[in-house]
Amino acid sequence: MRDFSNDHSALALNTATLGHNVEGFGAGWTPEQVIDGCAARGYGGVVFWRREIGENSVAIGERAKAAGLKVAGLCRSPFLVGPLAARGKEAILDDFFASIDMAAGLDAPVLTIVVGGVEPGSKGMHDSLALVAERVAAACEYAAQAGVNLALEPLHPVYGGDRSCLVTVRDAVDLCERIGADNLGIAVDVYHVWWDTELSIQLRRAGAKRIHGFHLCDWLAETKDVLFDRGMMGDGVADIRGIRGSVEDAGYDGLCEVELFSKENWWKRDPNEVLDVLVERFRTVC
């Protein structure tokens, strides 16, 4: 396993950690300020959200490169199924393809997919996952032509109804095998997988070729809001080092992306403080 105690060049910031992906939260830093703040501290990369980018994907991607940062990915695809998805397959795929175009403009190698919850009118996960497979398969060739990998991110089962009918790494790897596209893989987020006792087995199934991202944060023992109360690394109950060990044993050696939704704590702090704490925690507990 890599030693980060004296080297945080593998650290990447997901801008959700500063609250910028939710209206009314965060200090309002521009993408340029985020890039400068990360570069000044020796971060290796940054991951933006679509709402921050607008029509400026190429310029923002070039600014990051000039600062010595890799744009590690883009969050995220639209929901593909479920109650929060757009109505109609055509509208969903149009937005999906637009998110691929934005990732390509940023020169981001990965677009994260959060699939959406249980499709209205259905019960359980099977029918919804079948629709996910169909819609992801429809986008894989387009993404490949754009030079973008697609990463299915399973979410914690608590989100199964509305945000993600994909709740296990096992099912994510199954979808990859079912679709069979070379540019389709998974993103592994500590917040969503820390509880899964099969994790190391499924990561070995995925292998280095299919693990396109690794996301850091922590699960607080007394979580007050399952969407907006993630913990800073080291403040919760997740075995972060153990999970990273399993991810790296499976062959992953890329950036480690901190994605921290924290409406009542970290989003209220000065972004400079947050960026400094991330470096310290990355070196000491990750």
The pLDDT assigned to 166 comes to 98
C-beta pairs of 96-100 under 8 Å, 24+ apart in sequence: 96/135, 96/139, 97/139, 97/142, 99/50, 99/74, 100/139, 100/142, 100/143, 100/146, 100/148, 100/150
Say what the pLDDT of residue 92 is. 98
**Predicted TM-score of the model (pTM):** 0.97
**How far apart, in whole angstroms, are the C-alpha atoms of residue 278 and residue 100?**
29
Confidence of residue 262 (pLDDT cuts 50, 70, 90): very high
CATH superfamily of 11-285: Divalent-metal-dependent TIM barrel enzymes (3.20.20.150)
Which H or E run contains 110? Answer: strand 110-113
* Domain ranges (residues) in the chain: 11-285
The tokens describing 268, both together, are 């209220």
Instruction: Check residue 21 and give its pLDDT.
Output: 65
274: pLDDT confidence band, cut at 50, 70 and 90? very high
Rounded to an integer, the average pLDDT of 118-132 is: 97
